[in-house]
Amino acid sequence: MSNAPLTIIAITTAKPGKEAALGAAQEELVAETLVEDGCLRYELHQSLDDGGVRIFVEDWASEEQWRAHMQGAAMQRFQASGVADYFADFALHRLTKVAG
């Protein structure tokens, strides 16, 4: 596991009719996550082309701290809230900077 900074892009698509419920849960997750150790950026973006698509853009001080977030209290509450039933699609990409 690397101690280098880590960027995450997580693309979520809500099931039709579940956009508002998923969005509310995601916004709560953002508020809780921003104060976590190692969180450098945790943003939620809305697609202008598809109202069901929201994208998390995250920067973490290390992969270890991101993994701690994934097992932490905020993520556990998010998952326990039943949001899995609101997702039509989900993709997560772990990224490392190669230029710029």
pLDDT digits (tens, 9 = 90+) for 54-86: 999 999 999 999 999 999 999 999 999 999 999
Domains within the chain, CATH numbers bracketed: 6-95 (3.30.70.100)
Asked if the model's pLDDT at residue 20 lies above 80, the reply is yes
Q: How far apart are CA 37 and CA 50, in angstroms?
A: 32
pLDDT of residue 54: 98
More confident residue, 1 or 53: 53
Asked if the model's pLDDT at residue 7 lies above 70, the reply is yes
pLDDT digits (tens, 9 = 90+) for 23-44: 999 999 999 999 999 999 999 9
